[in-house]
Structure 1
Amino acid sequence: MTANSQHVDSWYAASASPHKVFPALSGEVASDVCIVGGGYTGLSTAIHLRKLGFSVTLLEAERVGWGASGRNGGHVGTGQRADQEDLEQWVGLGTAKDLWRLGLDAVDLVVNLIDEFSIECELGVGNLHLAAKRRHSKGLQQEVEYLSKTYGYDQMRFVDATETAWMTTANRSHGALLDLGARHLHPLKYAFGLAKAADLLGTEIFEDSRVLSYDESKDGQVQVKTDSGLVKARFLVLACNGYLGNLEPRIAGNIMPINNFILATEPLSEAQQKAVCRDNFSLSDSLFVINYWKLSGDGRLLFGGGETYGAKFPKNIARFVWPHMLKIYPNLADVAVEYGWGGTLGITMNRMPDFGRLGRRTFYAQGFSGHGVPTATMAGYLLAAAISGDTDDFSRMASVPTRRFPGGTLLRRPGQVAGMLFYSLLDRIGG
């Protein structure tokens, strides 16, 4: 059995070369740092800690890349998930500029890791963010102007409706924001590449090793328990994001898990691919419940649309996503869909990631809110730096005020669902 056979049935799993199967933890292990979670955050943390000389044990409940890291849309966006003007109000212009820098550095870090470890993950350039409504067009123009004037960003420009229609046949031709600083990739191949890099650098990786509990003992160590083993470490990193569950109640209420879904069509003809996007950018729209899509390396349309807020996924995910795709590409109504899958991500109230420290020895980063490929990768770099004593940029990320969901984990879902439904209703109103 390969590791891929235990991933969800997605085009990603079908098209990625199987990665090494790591054993389950058995017995007692000691290391400088124990990491819980084998997604981008955990794997990036492991890579950067090993570069700093720390011994590292990584525990993954399923398989590396099994969660959102292996199921997402593969977009590598610039900046932060929240708007810069909002960040300025929350933390001031100076810190907002630092956060913008970190957002750009995060994209560079993804690209540099891909280069350093020769990760073949279909890396592409550019994102075209479409104005879903006519009134959204002005806001995109203002964003381009503001980022250029205040932040000196010159990789973004506004594309008018005529040029947008030349770039894509998508039914969102009210103009677009073209960001050539953005990237896109095959997310599971990227996760597998990070796992291979962490392994080659000497990280002890254990799969099928769900953490049941942990505690900071009196002898200056953290003890992390699975059903068949124990890790003793000087530091602990919680890199679970939407899969945190009940492991750490003190931070569980800072995020809410939601589910998002993707379909993959059959390979399109060359003409159909050009109709989706002439220049092979990733694409997205300006709706609150965002649609996002791109072409795969073998010419399929990978389209993400629709979300749910309960524990269950739709019985037929492809059918659930299909109407969202048809609203944008009705000309693809006769194209066959070969895959449909979903995943769980963690969102925060303000859509900024939740960085922090619990006690003396436990660090965490979570709540990437759909901006996880670059931000979770950067989180690993910052977590490693903080553990080594360089806390400056980690503290900058942690300085953004974190609001717990009202009612914590018990009541967060009903209130958030009501809010999501309200904004999704606005998405359906014309204009």
Structure 2
Amino acid sequence: MQSQYPASYYAASANRKDARPSLTESLQADVCVVGAGFTGLSTALHLAERGFSVVVLEGSRIGFGASGRNGGQIVHSYSRDMDFIERHYGKRTADAMGSMAFEGGKIIRRLVKDHDIQCDLKDGGIFASCNNKQFRGLQHHKALWEKYGNDQLELLSADEVKKYIGTERYTGALLDKSGGHIHPLNLTLGEADAIEKLGGKIFENSPVTFVQQGEKAVVKTAQGEVTASYVVVAGNAYLNGIGDQLPELTQKSMPCGTQVITTEPLSEELQRELLPQDYCVEDSNYLLDYYRISGDGRLIYGGGVTYGAREPGKIESLIRPKMLKTFPQLKDVKVDYAWTGNFLLTLMRLPQFGRIGSNIYYAQGYSGHGVTSTHLAGELIASAIQGQAERFDVFASLPQYPFPGGRLLRVPYTAMGAFYYDMRDKLGI
């Protein structure tokens, strides 16, 4: 159990730092949500808005995992796009998932507006190409997304990119005006406040020790329990002890780490030089870099993947060279914060939704596209519990494959694959 946030920029600039109490009593609720990251909070908030009584149990702190440590970028769709989905699962599934591909960002904006959440929401995102092959991929990407309804896209040539990003690094880009960025931890804290205002209850530092399945499930912690008609398991890469009881959630996924650094506050002149329109950026590499300007004028820069969720020893030494490759003008700028966080990877790079028995729901494994997909997941789980499960079942029907070699070999096999694609990126092939 972790009672404190990691020493990240997000934790240092959080709107609320005091902890909520642990569960020390027996409660009744319509729904018990396990995990107070984006999936759990989105689910609980959508349910509370519909009149359900909800209890959220968090093993450490709200947004402690990937939800409070990520790059903060509103990136649409999934880690596999609809053409891949159509090839593997058919046109009907691709059309159904495509119709939901841009919904997560809309949900975030709706929740921010309706509940007055202060999270530095800014509009606009850019996908940048590092070679000509990647730029051709962005052209295909634009046509594909437009087919599914995104009409806010614009291709940028190498010269046009320089109007948006102060670097010589890119051969072109795709601007998505419906993208954007947020302070992710403050978004989780704002969603938690909204749940409580609607009558929901949230307990921190309350790791679940046991789930007794049945018509009424009983979710137990060290000092209390919640009896509920439905349980939603939303621990993602931070399942901890509950994962041993529910092997369905751990046997077909793998925690991975990504690293982020944040500079000291930059002058307004330097901010405008780096990102004149204040859009967020990610490149098109397999092991991609991503960055943006924070609400108080810092550059937040992340990248790389550590397979198996190992903690890297020196995060700044890993990420600073990436930042300087993009922005050499930052060579004398101090880095104030460096941290790592785990996301959950699946073999097919698509999220895993499902039920255990008739009344335990789960959603996990967003494979790097969690900010928007988690918010969509909350809407779909809430609708399924309410009796409208068609859209949830589109995701639940996707096969969930184990990694080759099982849990023992999934890390080295996946790392080998990442090395191969990283070399392809570097060679431009």
Q: 2:226 aligns with which of 223, 226, 231?
A: 231
Q: 2:204 aligns with which of 189, 203, 207?
A: 207
The answer to whether residue 120 in structure 2 is matched with residue 122 in structure 1 is: yes
Q: 2:217 aligns with which of 217, 222, 226?
A: 222
Q: What's the counterpart of residue 382 of structure 2? A: 384
Name the CA distance, whole Å, in 2 between partners of 1:285 and 1:145: 18
Deviation per CA, 1:332-374, whole angstroms, max 9, x where unpaired?
Answer: 1111111001101101112111111111111000001111111
Partner of 1:349: helix, strand, or coil? coil
Q: What's the counterpart of residue 51 of structure 2? A: 53
Q: What's the counterpart of residue 404 of structure 2? A: 406
Q: 1:356 aligns with which of 336, 354, 357?
A: 354
Q: CA deviation at 1:30?
A: 1.9
Structure 2 residues not aligned, in runs of 5+: none
Q: What's the counterpart of residue 198 of structure 1? A: 195
Partner of 1:129: helix, strand, or coil? strand
Same amino acid, percent of matched pairs: 40
Q: 1:145 aligns with which of 134, 139, 143?
A: 143
Seen in structure 2, the aligned counterparts of structure 1 residues 392 and 343 have a Cα distance that, compared at 3 Å, is same
**Contact 1:260 1:304 (C-alpha < 8 Å) held by counterparts:** yes
The answer to whether residue 105 in structure 2 is matched with residue 83 in structure 1 is: no
**Contact 2:77 2:369 (C-alpha < 8 Å) held by counterparts:** no
Name the CA distance, whole Å, in 2 between partners of 1:381 and 1:350: 23
The answer to whether residue 192 in structure 2 is matched with residue 176 in structure 1 is: no
Q: CA deviation at 1:20?
A: 5.1
**Contact 1:256 1:346 (C-alpha < 8 Å) held by counterparts:** yes
In the alignment, residue 143 of structure 1 is paired with which amino acid?
Answer: H
Partner of 1:197: helix, strand, or coil? helix
Seen in structure 2, the aligned counterparts of structure 1 residues 97 and 215 have a Cα distance that, compared at 3 Å, is same
Q: 2:162 aligns with which of 156, 161, 165?
A: 165
Name the CA distance, whole Å, in 2 between partners of 1:51 and 1:147: 31
Name the CA distance, whole Å, in 2 between partners of 1:81 and 1:99: 12
Q: CA deviation at 1:386?
A: 0.7
Name the CA distance, whole Å, in 2 between partners of 1:5 and 1:384: 29
Deviates more, 1:66-75 or 1:241-250: 241-250
Name the CA distance, whole Å, in 1 between partners of 2:23 and 2:274: 46
Q: 2:151 aligns with which of 128, 151, 154?
A: 154
In the alignment, residue 243 of structure 1 is paired with which amino acid?
Answer: Y
**Contact 1:29 1:231 (C-alpha < 8 Å) held by counterparts:** yes
Q: CA deviation at 1:152?
A: 4.0
Seen in structure 2, the aligned counterparts of structure 1 residues 210 and 111 have a Cα distance that, compared at 3 Å, is same
Partner of 1:405: helix, strand, or coil? coil
CA RMSD of aligned residues (A): 1.7
**Contact 1:242 1:257 (C-alpha < 8 Å) held by counterparts:** yes
The answer to whether residue 254 in structure 2 is matched with residue 240 in structure 1 is: no
The answer to whether residue 17 in structure 2 is matched with residue 15 in structure 1 is: no
Q: What's the counterpart of residue 330 of structure 1? A: 328
Q: CA deviation at 1:208?
A: 0.4
The normalised TM-score by structure 1 is 0.94
Partner of 1:378: helix, strand, or coil? helix
Q: CA deviation at 1:307?
A: 2.0
Partner of 1:279: helix, strand, or coil? coil
In the alignment, residue 216 of structure 2 is paired with which amino acid?
Answer: Q
In the alignment, residue 227 of structure 2 is paired with which amino acid?
Answer: K
1:357-376 superposed matches below 5 A: 357-376=355-374
Seen in structure 2, the aligned counterparts of structure 1 residues 171 and 226 have a Cα distance that, compared at 3 Å, is farther
Structure 1 residues not aligned, in runs of 5+: none
Q: What's the counterpart of residue 423 of structure 2? A: 425
In the alignment, residue 29 of structure 1 is paired with which amino acid?
Answer: L
Q: What's the counterpart of residue 189 of structure 1? A: 186
